[in-house]
Amino acid sequence: MSESVDKTSVARQVELIIRQLNTLSTLPQVAGGILPCILKEPFQTGEMAQIIEADSAMTASVLALAARLGVLGTDGSKPLAEVIDELPSPALRDAVLSVKVVQAFDCPTDADSTRPLPRRQMALHALATACCASLIAELALDETQRKLAFTAGLLHDIGKTALDEVMPKSFEQLVLQAAQKKQNLTTVEQDNLGLTHALLGKRLAEKWHLPEPIVQAIWLHHADPRILSEMPYGKLVMVTMLADELARKSGIGQSGSYETPEQNTLLTKLLGLNAQQISQIMVQLPEQVEQKSKPLGLSNMDRAQDYYEMIHLAAAKLARDNSSMVQQSRRSFDAALFADPVQQFLNTLSTGSSPDQVAGQFARCLQQTLHTGSVLILLWPEQHTDPVEIAIADADGITEAALLSSPDTANLKNNPFGEGFKIIRAAETFGWCLEQIRRLAPARTVAAPLLLSGKPLAAALFESDTDLPTETLQMLCSIGASAISASKAFRAQREQTERLVDLMDKLRTTDRDLTEARSLSAVAEMAAGAAHELNNPLAVISGRAQLLMQSESDPDKKQILDQIFQRTQDISDMITDLMSFARPREPYKHLVAPAALVSEAIEKTARLHNLPQLAVTLKDIEQLPDVFVDKTQAIQALCHILSNAVESYTGQDSGPITIEGHVPSENNLVEIRISDSGCGMDESTLRQAAKPFFSAKPAGRKRGMGLAHAQRLLSLNNVSLRLDSTPGKGTTVTVHLPRV
């Protein structure tokens, strides 16, 4: 199976798992603060609203309830405190208690703080983004969207929280990988899972029927800002995106992304803001976050330890009681055998429902109509090699979805039901499915088709020992087939839209690469033209200067002629340097020991700087495995990097310089880190350090080709280069060399 098919399967599996979530989990301190508010008589919402509106899990749960009850309003812009006041007290109490509590504390130690991305830090980052979005919105949005900014910022990372909840160990590895590679977490998620937390957050927001502007902010807060300006809620998304970057810059909480934000200037411009306004927001932000976080009690471990068990037991009992009441209510309406279940099924449908969600609700409809046990809906795959999606409603009416691998003997290319609607024994055709699921007794299980234009769109499997009302069942299956068909069409349209957004992001990268390629092409043309036009005159000037020096006896004139000769050599060297940068030779790659590359680069750098030796410390270089590169080009690139390190020191010092080797476990690379303790670079200089002709040095400087030339040579050898620097503390250049 190809890598793309594998990644698609993984992405679909992760998506199915995430969509099973009915709520997110909150921290014990938050739940501990909510419980006293609920137990107070009479029931008061004011103090509880302060906690709910500052916690993403509570906010999402309450908004989902409001959407179900029609309290949210058409555009979702009603303030959350007003929504809370309008909700029935029992429903609000149930929604709050249904929010699970993450086991983040293991008394007496704080286990959460030892994780790569603690949940408390994620909560602080979400709150900081919300506060920052609210401050930006006051300057950049109209009144309607201004009301949504805080909630959009608070919920922007719910997909990340969901990932941490359902696959915590895998999520920790993703965070560690992002930290090691200094990458955005979305990049690592896409590479490993085939989707991102932004897309998963969108799926949850659609499932919970959150306001569309909030859905867009959750989904697109990592998109290219240039595509957002013409979208209906584009400015709100840009506000959320800028708030996310400023919150990370403020250092309040942690987001799990470790790349340097690059969109601040562009977003500020697109939103019509200026640098002074952004600076004022950054000053106000810490105080805003502190004020909003007080009701959450994030720093109060005692509150979490005292109330966690009580909340857990209360919520569990309430859920059991509620489930029991629902079951009793269903049994009391046996007279509504057909109409009521179908009406309930139709009421659950929405444009955002996925095929497996619709299938799950239809399974419940069949279960209620036929008074049977578990019902399984098998969605017919588009290609017989695709994984098979199924939805199950168990005996208690709880639905879940899964992906199954169908054996070659399954023969899903053909219609096992024959012509028209027909109920068959399931064991022969779907025995492989029953064996994997183990919810239904094969000997008693039958299958009925959900037909669309005479072809099965899905199959319903359930246990039955009696003759079934065929006409009623056929009508039910037709309704189910129509609903699933509509959801498939919607999913196809949605995935096309999402692919378009993904392509726009790739276009942004391609556009940047194309610009750089055009710049290199321009350099090549300039170098070729300069070489052609200047080499002959330079040769004449150089030759004449040498001849005149030989016949000149006046020392002063002889010195002037020598200066002319030296300057012509400098110009010639510049042309050679440009040509070697713009049109380097094709690399001749072979296996070479990194220790040999480092050793020769050190010797060459010492000679270039007229030093007896460099002040270099080597760590774990000798043990590194061989790499597959052009030896000469790799040495030249390392020499440029070492020269930059030497020149970062002022005065007569040329060090210390540390060269450290490392072999990452997750890929076929060898890592060499070259660190100095010199002058370092600020963020602006760091972004341009590898561009041709750029130099932070004053007049009389060198040509600014060192790091540019190094990166050019390394890219020819499939080698990556990363710069990390702090002004006044030094620079680290990390080079990843390929192994065979």
Tens-digit pLDDT profile for residues 581-639: 666 778 888 899 999 999 998 888 888 888 888 888 899 998 889 989 898 888 888 88
- The mean per-residue pLDDT over the stretch 214-222 comes to 92
Helix segments in 440-554, DSSP class H: 470-551
What b-and-e string marks burial along 513-550, b requiring 16 or more CB atoms within 10 Å of the CB?
eeeeeeebeebeeebeeebeebeeebeebbeebeeebe
Residue 242 pLDDT exceeds 70: yes
Three-state helix/strand/coil letters over 57-100: HHHHHHHHHHHHHCCCCCCCCCCHHHHHHHCCHHHHHHHHHCCC
Residue 104 pLDDT exceeds 60: no
Residues of the chain with CATH 3.30.565.10: 590-738
Can you name the residues that pair with 425 across neighbouring β-strands? Answer: 446
Tens-digit pLDDT profile for residues 340-397: 788 888 888 777 788 888 999 999 988 888 888 899 999 988 776 778 899 999 888 7
Tokens 């991305």 label which residue? 117
Query: How is residue 362 written in tokens?
Result: 């239809």
Beta pairing class for 627-629 and 616-619: unpaired
Residue 398, pLDDT score? 86
CA pair distance 525, 502, nearest whole angstrom: 34
In three-state secondary structure terms, 445 is strand
Beta pairing class for 669-676 and 720-726: unpaired
For residue 112, name the pLDDT band (cuts at 50, 70, 90): low
CA pair distance 671, 674, nearest whole angstrom: 10
Q: What is the mean pLDDT of the chain?
A: 81
Classify domain 3-301 at the CATH superfamily level.
Hypothetical protein af1432 (1.10.3210.10)
CATH architecture designation of domain 339-492: 2-Layer Sandwich (3.30)
CB atoms within 10 A of CB 275: 10
Query: How is residue 336 written in tokens?
Result: 């509504």
Tens-digit pLDDT profile for residues 259-311: 777 677 888 998 999 999 999 999 999 999 999 988 887 766 555 555 555 55
Tens-digit pLDDT profile for residues 458-485: 999 999 877 777 887 888 899 999 999 8
Q: What is the pTM of this model?
A: 0.63
CATH architecture designation of domain 590-738: 2-Layer Sandwich (3.30)
Residue 333 pLDDT exceeds 50: no
For residue 246, name the pLDDT band (cuts at 50, 70, 90): very high
Residue 176 pLDDT exceeds 80: yes
In three-state secondary structure terms, 385 is coil
Prior bond of 656 cis (ω within 30°): yes
Prior bond of 42 cis (ω within 30°): yes
Residues of the chain with CATH 1.10.3210.10: 3-301
CA pair distance 511, 462, nearest whole angstrom: 54
Find out whether 259 and 186 touch, Cβ atoms under 8 Å.
no
More confident residue, 265 or 239: 239
Residue 191, pLDDT score? 86
Beta pairing class for 657-662 and 616-619: parallel
- The mean per-residue pLDDT over the stretch 698-726 comes to 71
Q: What angle do CA 506, 715, 644 make, to 5 degrees?
A: 115
Residue 337 pLDDT exceeds 60: no
- Proportion of the chain above pLDDT 70, given as a percent: 83
Tens-digit pLDDT profile for residues 14-32: 888 888 888 898 888 887 7
Residue 329, pLDDT score? 47
Residue 219, pLDDT score? 92
Tens-digit pLDDT profile for residues 31-86: 778 877 776 766 677 788 889 999 999 999 999 998 888 887 656 777 888 888 88
Find out whether 34 and 48 touch, Cβ atoms under 8 Å.
yes
Q: Mind giving me the DSSP string for 33-58? A: HHHHHHHSSS---HHHHHHHTT-HHH
Residue 186 pLDDT exceeds 80: yes
CB atoms within 10 A of CB 39: 11
CA pair distance 302, 32, nearest whole angstrom: 9
Prior bond of 108 cis (ω within 30°): yes
Tens-digit pLDDT profile for residues 383-442: 767 788 999 998 887 888 888 887 777 777 778 888 888 899 988 889 889 888 888 999
Find out whether 481 and 450 touch, Cβ atoms under 8 Å.
yes
Residue 392, pLDDT score? 92
Query: How is residue 684 written in tokens?
Result: 């602006």
Residue 115 pLDDT exceeds 90: no
- The mean per-residue pLDDT over the stretch 676-696 comes to 73
Residue 194 pLDDT exceeds 80: yes
Residue 135 pLDDT exceeds 50: yes
Helix 301-331 crosses helix 89-97 at what angle (to 10 degrees)? 120
Find out whether 566 and 572 touch, Cβ atoms under 8 Å.
no
Residue 520, pLDDT score? 61
Find out whether 166 and 159 touch, Cβ atoms under 8 Å.
no
CA pair distance 112, 640, nearest whole angstrom: 44
CB atoms within 10 A of CB 569: 12
For residue 334, name the pLDDT band (cuts at 50, 70, 90): very low
CA pair distance 155, 55, nearest whole angstrom: 9
Query: How is residue 174 written in tokens?
Result: 């993703």
Distance of CA 689 to the CA centre of its chain: 27
Strands, sheet with 424-425, edge to edge from the N-terminal-most edge strand: 399-404, 388-393, 375-379, 455-463, 445-452, 424-425
More confident residue, 685 or 146: 146
CB atoms within 10 A of CB 183: 16
Beta pairing class for 720-726 and 424-425: unpaired
CA pair distance 338, 330, nearest whole angstrom: 13
- Proportion of the chain above pLDDT 90, given as a percent: 21
Stretch (H or E) spanning 639: helix 631-647
Residues of the chain with CATH 3.30.450.40: 339-492
Distance of CA 121 to the CA centre of its chain: 17
